Protein backbone atom coordinates (compact mmCIF):
# COMPACT_ATOMS: atom_id res chain seq x y z
CA UNK A 1 0.00 0.00 0.00
CA UNK A 2 2.83 2.37 0.89
CA UNK A 3 4.61 1.43 -2.33
CA UNK A 4 1.45 2.18 -4.35
CA UNK A 5 1.03 5.57 -2.72
CA UNK A 6 4.66 6.42 -3.44
CA UNK A 7 4.20 5.49 -7.11
CA UNK A 8 1.02 7.57 -7.37
CA UNK A 9 2.73 10.53 -5.69
CA UNK A 10 5.73 10.23 -8.02
CA UNK A 11 3.40 10.05 -11.03
CA UNK A 12 1.48 13.18 -9.94
CA UNK A 13 4.70 15.11 -9.31
CA UNK A 14 5.97 14.08 -12.73
CA UNK A 15 2.80 15.33 -14.43
CA UNK A 16 2.83 18.61 -12.53
CA UNK A 17 6.49 19.14 -13.34
CA UNK A 18 6.05 18.51 -17.06
CA UNK A 19 2.79 20.47 -17.20
CA UNK A 20 4.42 23.40 -15.42
CA UNK A 21 7.31 23.39 -17.88
CA UNK A 22 4.85 23.16 -20.78
CA UNK A 23 2.83 26.12 -19.47
CA UNK A 24 5.98 28.19 -18.96
CA UNK A 25 7.23 27.48 -22.48
CA UNK A 26 3.77 28.09 -23.96
CA UNK A 27 3.36 31.39 -22.10
CA UNK A 28 6.86 32.45 -23.18
CA UNK A 29 6.10 31.66 -26.83
CA UNK A 30 2.75 33.49 -26.65
CA UNK A 31 4.43 36.50 -25.06
CA UNK A 32 7.14 36.56 -27.73
CA UNK A 33 4.55 36.22 -30.49
CA UNK A 34 2.52 39.09 -29.07
CA UNK A 35 5.58 41.33 -28.74
CA UNK A 36 6.80 40.53 -32.25
CA UNK A 37 3.33 41.16 -33.70
CA UNK A 38 3.06 44.47 -31.86
CA UNK A 39 6.48 45.56 -33.14
CA UNK A 40 5.50 44.70 -36.72
CA UNK A 41 2.18 46.57 -36.41
CA UNK A 42 3.88 49.62 -34.90
CA UNK A 43 6.59 49.57 -37.59
CA UNK A 44 3.99 49.40 -40.38
CA UNK A 45 1.87 52.12 -38.76
CA UNK A 46 4.85 54.49 -38.54
CA UNK A 47 6.04 53.68 -42.07
CA UNK A 48 2.58 53.87 -43.70
CA UNK A 49 0.33 55.86 -41.33
CA UNK A 50 -2.43 56.74 -43.80
CA UNK A 51 -2.71 53.19 -45.13
CA UNK A 52 -2.83 51.97 -41.53
CA UNK A 53 -5.56 54.51 -40.69
CA UNK A 54 -7.73 53.31 -43.59
CA UNK A 55 -6.99 49.67 -42.76
CA UNK A 56 -8.14 50.18 -39.17
CA UNK A 57 -11.39 51.74 -40.39
CA UNK A 58 -12.75 48.62 -42.14
CA UNK A 59 -12.80 46.18 -39.18
CA UNK A 60 -13.97 49.04 -36.99
CA UNK A 61 -17.02 49.63 -39.20
CA UNK A 62 -17.80 45.89 -39.22
CA UNK A 63 -17.50 45.71 -35.44
CA UNK A 64 -19.65 48.81 -34.98
CA UNK A 65 -22.34 47.31 -37.23
CA UNK A 66 -22.38 44.10 -35.18
CA UNK A 67 -22.66 46.06 -31.91
CA UNK A 68 -25.48 48.21 -33.28
CA UNK A 69 -27.44 45.18 -34.50
CA UNK A 70 -26.96 43.39 -31.16
CA UNK A 71 -28.14 46.43 -29.18
CA UNK A 72 -31.15 46.89 -31.47
CA UNK A 73 -32.17 43.26 -30.93
CA UNK A 74 -31.62 43.26 -27.16
CA UNK A 75 -33.19 46.70 -26.66
CA UNK A 76 -35.43 47.62 -29.63
CA UNK A 77 -35.45 51.39 -30.27
CA UNK A 78 -38.61 53.44 -29.89
CA UNK A 79 -40.54 54.90 -32.83
CA UNK A 80 -39.07 58.34 -32.11
CA UNK A 81 -35.53 56.98 -32.26
CA UNK A 82 -36.32 55.07 -35.46
CA UNK A 83 -37.62 58.27 -37.08
CA UNK A 84 -34.60 60.23 -35.89
CA UNK A 85 -32.27 57.58 -37.25
CA UNK A 86 -34.09 57.59 -40.60
CA UNK A 87 -33.78 61.39 -40.77
CA UNK A 88 -30.07 61.16 -39.96
CA UNK A 89 -29.52 58.52 -42.68
CA UNK A 90 -31.43 60.68 -45.19
CA UNK A 91 -29.19 63.63 -44.35
CA UNK A 92 -26.10 61.49 -44.87
CA UNK A 93 -27.42 60.36 -48.25
CA UNK A 94 -28.21 63.86 -49.45
CA UNK A 95 -25.03 65.53 -48.16
CA UNK A 96 -22.20 62.96 -48.42
CA UNK A 97 -19.54 65.63 -47.84
CA UNK A 98 -21.01 66.12 -44.36
CA UNK A 99 -20.49 62.51 -43.29
CA UNK A 100 -17.21 61.99 -45.16
CA UNK A 101 -15.33 65.29 -44.72
CA UNK A 102 -16.93 68.03 -42.63
CA UNK A 103 -18.27 65.92 -39.75
CA UNK A 104 -15.11 63.81 -39.20
CA UNK A 105 -12.81 66.84 -39.43
CA UNK A 106 -14.84 68.92 -36.96
CA UNK A 107 -15.30 66.07 -34.49
CA UNK A 108 -11.62 65.11 -34.52
CA UNK A 109 -10.44 68.71 -34.22
CA UNK A 110 -12.73 69.34 -31.24
CA UNK A 111 -12.43 66.05 -29.35
CA UNK A 112 -8.99 64.71 -30.26
CA UNK A 113 -7.42 68.10 -31.04
CA UNK A 114 -8.71 70.18 -28.09
CA UNK A 115 -10.53 68.11 -25.45
CA UNK A 116 -8.10 65.20 -25.29
CA UNK A 117 -4.94 67.32 -24.79
CA UNK A 118 -6.69 69.41 -22.12
CA UNK A 119 -7.73 66.29 -20.20
CA UNK A 120 -4.22 64.87 -20.58
CA UNK A 121 -2.63 68.02 -19.10
CA UNK A 122 -5.14 68.15 -16.23
CA UNK A 123 -4.73 64.44 -15.53
CA UNK A 124 -0.95 64.75 -15.52
CA UNK A 125 -1.05 67.54 -12.94
CA UNK A 126 -3.46 65.64 -10.70
CA UNK A 127 -1.29 62.50 -10.91
CA UNK A 128 1.81 64.50 -10.02
CA UNK A 129 0.05 65.90 -6.97
CA UNK A 130 -0.81 62.32 -5.99
CA UNK A 131 2.85 61.36 -6.54
CA UNK A 132 1.99 59.10 -9.47
CA UNK A 133 4.20 59.18 -12.54
CA UNK A 134 1.94 60.26 -15.46
CA UNK A 135 4.66 59.43 -18.02
CA UNK A 136 4.92 55.77 -17.02
CA UNK A 137 3.91 53.57 -19.94
CA UNK A 138 1.30 50.85 -19.59
CA UNK A 139 0.05 48.16 -21.97
CA UNK A 140 -3.34 48.83 -23.52
CA UNK A 141 -4.74 46.68 -26.33
CA UNK A 142 -1.84 46.36 -28.82
CA UNK A 143 0.28 49.35 -27.83
CA UNK A 144 2.11 51.00 -24.98
CA UNK A 145 0.83 54.38 -23.84
CA UNK A 146 1.54 56.77 -20.99
CA UNK A 147 -0.86 56.70 -18.06
CA UNK A 148 -2.07 60.28 -18.42
CA UNK A 149 -2.52 59.82 -22.16
CA UNK A 150 -4.56 56.66 -21.67
CA UNK A 151 -6.88 58.34 -19.18
CA UNK A 152 -7.37 61.26 -21.57
CA UNK A 153 -8.17 58.86 -24.44
CA UNK A 154 -10.78 56.97 -22.40
CA UNK A 155 -12.35 60.12 -20.91
CA UNK A 156 -12.54 61.86 -24.30
CA UNK A 157 -14.08 58.76 -25.87
CA UNK A 158 -16.80 58.68 -23.22
CA UNK A 159 -17.57 62.35 -23.86
CA UNK A 160 -17.57 61.67 -27.60
CA UNK A 161 -20.03 58.81 -27.18
CA UNK A 162 -22.24 60.87 -24.87
CA UNK A 163 -22.36 63.67 -27.45
CA UNK A 164 -23.89 61.23 -29.96
CA UNK A 165 -26.90 60.76 -27.72
CA UNK A 166 -28.00 64.27 -28.66
CA UNK A 167 -28.71 63.34 -32.30
CA UNK A 168 -31.56 61.09 -31.16
CA UNK A 169 -30.24 57.84 -32.65
CA UNK A 170 -30.31 56.01 -29.33
CA UNK A 171 -27.77 54.20 -27.20
CA UNK A 172 -26.38 52.05 -30.04
CA UNK A 173 -24.60 54.90 -31.81
CA UNK A 174 -23.34 56.28 -28.50
CA UNK A 175 -21.72 52.91 -27.70
CA UNK A 176 -20.15 52.53 -31.14
CA UNK A 177 -18.98 56.15 -31.08
CA UNK A 178 -17.26 55.50 -27.74
CA UNK A 179 -15.50 52.43 -29.12
CA UNK A 180 -14.47 54.30 -32.25
CA UNK A 181 -13.31 57.20 -30.11
CA UNK A 182 -10.91 54.94 -28.21
CA UNK A 183 -9.37 53.68 -31.46
CA UNK A 184 -8.97 57.17 -32.93
CA UNK A 185 -7.74 58.52 -29.60
CA UNK A 186 -4.94 55.95 -29.67
CA UNK A 187 -4.19 56.83 -33.28
CA UNK A 188 -3.94 60.49 -32.32
CA UNK A 189 -1.57 59.77 -29.43
CA UNK A 190 0.66 57.41 -31.41
CA UNK A 191 0.57 58.85 -34.95
CA UNK A 192 -0.91 62.36 -34.73
CA UNK A 193 -4.16 64.22 -35.30
CA UNK A 194 -4.04 63.97 -39.11
CA UNK A 195 -4.08 60.18 -38.90
CA UNK A 196 -7.12 60.11 -36.59
CA UNK A 197 -8.89 62.48 -39.00
CA UNK A 198 -7.98 60.25 -41.95
CA UNK A 199 -9.33 57.18 -40.13
CA UNK A 200 -12.58 58.96 -39.25
CA UNK A 201 -13.00 60.12 -42.87
CA UNK A 202 -12.42 56.54 -44.06
CA UNK A 203 -15.15 55.33 -41.70
CA UNK A 204 -17.51 58.01 -43.05
CA UNK A 205 -16.73 56.99 -46.61
CA UNK A 206 -17.31 53.31 -45.86
CA UNK A 207 -20.63 54.05 -44.12
CA UNK A 208 -21.83 56.22 -47.02
CA UNK A 209 -20.75 53.57 -49.55
CA UNK A 210 -22.67 50.96 -47.58
CA UNK A 211 -25.78 53.15 -47.61
CA UNK A 212 -25.37 53.74 -51.35
CA UNK A 213 -25.10 50.09 -52.35
CA UNK A 214 -27.85 49.07 -49.91
CA UNK A 215 -30.18 51.60 -51.54
CA UNK A 216 -29.23 50.38 -55.01
CA UNK A 217 -29.78 46.75 -53.99
CA UNK A 218 -33.21 47.58 -52.57
CA UNK A 219 -34.11 49.55 -55.70
CA UNK A 220 -34.35 52.86 -53.81
CA UNK A 221 -34.08 56.14 -55.74
CA UNK A 222 -33.06 58.19 -52.68
CA UNK A 223 -29.49 58.55 -54.00
User: What does the DSSP assignment read for 119-131?
Assistant: HHHHHHHHHHHTT
Tell whether 74 and 126 lie within a shared domain: yes
CA-CA distance, 76 to 24, in Å (whole number)? 47
Q: Which residues pair with 144 in a beta bridge?
A: 139
C-alpha distance across the termini of the chain, in Å: 85
Domain count, the chain: 2
223 pLDDT more than 60: no
| pLDDT range class, residue 3, cuts 50, 70, 90 | very low
User: What is the rounded CA–CA span in Å between residue 59 and residue 63?
Assistant: 6
Query: Do residues 193 and 204 share a domain?
Result: yes
pLDDT band at 22 (very low <50, low <70, confident <90, very high): very low
Calculate mean pLDDT across residues 27-32.
Answer: 63
On whether both 133 and 187 belong to a single domain, the answer is yes
pLDDT bucket at 4, cuts 50 / 70 / 90? very low
Q: Does some domain include residue 222?
A: no
Domain interval for residue 14: 1-47
| Residue 169 domain-assigned (yes or no) | yes
133 and 204 share a domain? yes
* pLDDT over threshold 70, residue 205: yes
Average pLDDT over all residues of the chain: 80
Report whether pLDDT(23) > 60.
no
- Which residues of the chain form beta strands (DSSP E)? 137-140, 143-146
- The mean pLDDT value for 5-30 works out to 50
Taken as a whole, the chain contains a residue count of: 223
Asked whether residue 20 falls in the same domain as residue 91, the answer is: no
Same-domain status, 141 and 43? no
Q: What are phi and psi of 174, to 5 degrees?
A: -65, -40
- In a shared domain, residues 63 and 15: no
pLDDT of residue 65: 80
Q: Give me the pLDDT at residue 19, please.
A: 46
Question: Which percentage of the chain shows pLDDT scores above 70?
Answer: 72
Is 119 in the same domain as 83?
A: yes
Residues 97 and 203 in one domain: yes
User: Would you say the C-alpha torsion 123, 150, 183, 179 has a positive or negative sign?
Assistant: negative
155 within domain boundaries: yes
In a domain, 62, yes or no: yes
Average pLDDT for 171-192: 90
Rg, Å, the chain Cα set:
24
- Same domain as 95, residue 29: no
Asked if residue 147 belongs to a domain, the reply is: yes
CA distance 205 to 182: 19
Do 56 and 18 reside in the same domain of the chain? no
Mean pLDDT, range 150-171, rounded to an integer: 85
CB 133 within 8 A of CB 127: yes
- Domain for residue 174, yes or no? yes
Q: Is residue 223 part of a domain?
A: no
Question: Which has the closest alpha carbon to 173: 53, 58, 62, 69?
Answer: 69
pLDDT of amino acid 66? 85
Which residue, 9, 29, 47, sits at the end of a domain?
A: 47
Between 88 and 69, name the one with better pLDDT. Answer: 69
If asked whether residues 67 and 33 sit together in one domain, one would say no
Is 90 among the domain residues?
A: yes
As a whole number of angstroms, the distance between CA 43 and CA 39 comes to 6
- The region that residue 137 occupies, defined by phi over 0 for left and psi between -120 and 50 for alpha, beta otherwise, is beta
Judged against a pLDDT cut of 60, whether residue 153 lies above it is answered with: yes
Amino acid sequence: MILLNNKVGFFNNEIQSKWGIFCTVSDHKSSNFFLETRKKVEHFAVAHPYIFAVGVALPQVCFMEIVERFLEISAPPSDAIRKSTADYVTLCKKIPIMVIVIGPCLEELIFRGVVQPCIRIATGRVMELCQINPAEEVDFLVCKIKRANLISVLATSLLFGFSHLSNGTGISQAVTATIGGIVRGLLKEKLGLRISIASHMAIGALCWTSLFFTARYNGSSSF
